C-alpha cells in the first residue's frame, strides 16, 4: 500500500510548526503498513496534483497567504481534477480561506481565491488569538487546538465543526467553524492540530483508505503518550471554558 502526500509551500505556509501534522500522519500510516511519499511544492513550481492522494497547506502570514494564492490560481483546474478523483484536501489556519471565493484585505482589495466553495473572507484590524474546543459530527471526540486569526468568514454552508465550546467560529464566538465538503476540509485552527488530536488523524486515515479502495483498518494506532496528552489538554481547556 502506497500513498503520496503533497505539502504546498511549506517554506512559508507552516507558520506554527504545521509540518508536524504531516509527520504524525505519516507515522500513523506507516504503523498500518502504508508506504508514504511526502512531496513538497515550492514557490514557482507547478504542484503535482495528479499524483497526490492528499494535499495539505498550513497557515502563513497575510502576505504569505496572498503569495500562496497567486501561486495556486494558475493550477486551479489541476487541483479540481484531483478533488474530483477523490484526493483528500486539508487546509489549516488562514490557508482555509483560499478554498473560498475571495479574501478582502483591510484596504478593501478583493483577492480571488480557488472557488472550491462559495464562502468569502474579510480581514479585520483585530487579531483574535485563543484556545479552541471544537465539536463535529464526523467523529466522536472534541478537537482541541489554537487559533490566531484576524478575519471573518461568511457563507459557509457546511462547516467542519458544528460549534465551538471555546473559541471564535467562522463569524461568531462559539459558532460553527471551518469548512467540509466531501474530501475537502478546512479549519482556521493552527499549529499541529493532528498531533494534538489523534481521532482527527484517525478520521483522515479512514478517508484515505476509503479513497484508495482499501479495506478499513481493523484498529488505528496510537503513538506513545498522544492519547494522554490529548486528554490532559481537553480537561484543562474544558475547565477554562467553564464546562
Pick from 193, 190, 151: which is nearest to 13 by CA? 190
Place of cell 463535529: 136
- Reported pTM: 0.95
CB 99 within 8 Å of CB 179: yes
Per-residue pLDDT of the chain (243 residues; tens, 9 = 90+): 999 999 999 999 998 888 899 999 999 999 999 999 999 999 888 999 999 999 999 999 999 999 999 999 999 999 999 999 999 999 999 999 999 999 999 888 999 999 999 999 999 988 889 999 999 999 999 999 999 998 999 999 999 999 999 999 999 989 999 999 999 999 999 989 999 999 999 999 999 999 999 998 888 988 889 999 999 999 999 998 876
pLDDT at 243: 62
pLDDT at 218 (0 to 100): 85
Q: Taking Cα atoms as reference points, which of 182, 197, 185, 191 lies closest to residue 229?
A: 197
The residues, any chain, with a CB within 8 Å of residue 1's CB and separated by 6 or more, are: 32, 33, 34, 35, 212, 214
Give the per-residue pLDDT at 219: 87
CB 188 within 8 A of CB 93: yes
Half-sphere exposure for 97 (CA within 13 Å, toward CB): 33
Amino acid at each position: 500500500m502506497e500513498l503520496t502526500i503533497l505539502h504546498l509551500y511549506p517554506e512559508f505556509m507552516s507558520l506554527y510548526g504545521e509540518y508536524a501534522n504531516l509527520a504524525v500522519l505519516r507515522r500513523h500510516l506507516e504503523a498500518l503498513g502504508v508506504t508514504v511519499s511526502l512531496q513538497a511544492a515550492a514557490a514557482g513550481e507547478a504542484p503535482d496534483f495528479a499524483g497526490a492522494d492528499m494535499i495539505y497547506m498550513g497557515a502563513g502570514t497575510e502576505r504569505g497567504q496572498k503569495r500562496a494564492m497567486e501561486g495556486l490560481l494558475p493550477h486551479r483546474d489541476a487541483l479540481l481534477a484531483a478533488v474530483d478523483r477523490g484526493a483528500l484536501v486539508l487546509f489549516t489556519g488562514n490557508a482555509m480561506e483560499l478554498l473560498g471565493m475571495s479574501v478582502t484585505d483591510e484596504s478593501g482589495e478583493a483577492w480571488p481565491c480557488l472557488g472550491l466553495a462559495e464562502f468569502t473572507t474579510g480581514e479585520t484590524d483585530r487579531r483574535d488569538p485563543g484556545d479552541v474546543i471544537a465539536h463535529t459530527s464526523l467523529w466522536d471526540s472534541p478537537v482541541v487546538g489554537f487559533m490566531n486569526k484576524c478575519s471573518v468568514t461568511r457563507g459557509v454552508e457546511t462547516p467542519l465543526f458544528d460549534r465551538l465550546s471555546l473559541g471564535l467560529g467562522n463569524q461568531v464566538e462559539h459558532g460553527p467553524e471551518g469548512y467540509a465538503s466531501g474530501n475537502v476540509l478546512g479549519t482556521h485552527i493552527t499549529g499541529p492540530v493532528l498531533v494534538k488530536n489523534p481521532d482527527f488523524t484517525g478520521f483522515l486515515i479512514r478517508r484515505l483508505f476509503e479513497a484508495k479502495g482499501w479495506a478499513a483498518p481493523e484498529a488505528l494506532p496510537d503513538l506513545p503518550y498522544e492519547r494522554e496528552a490529548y486528554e490532559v489538554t481537553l480537561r484543562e481547556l474544558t475547565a477554562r471554558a467553564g464546562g
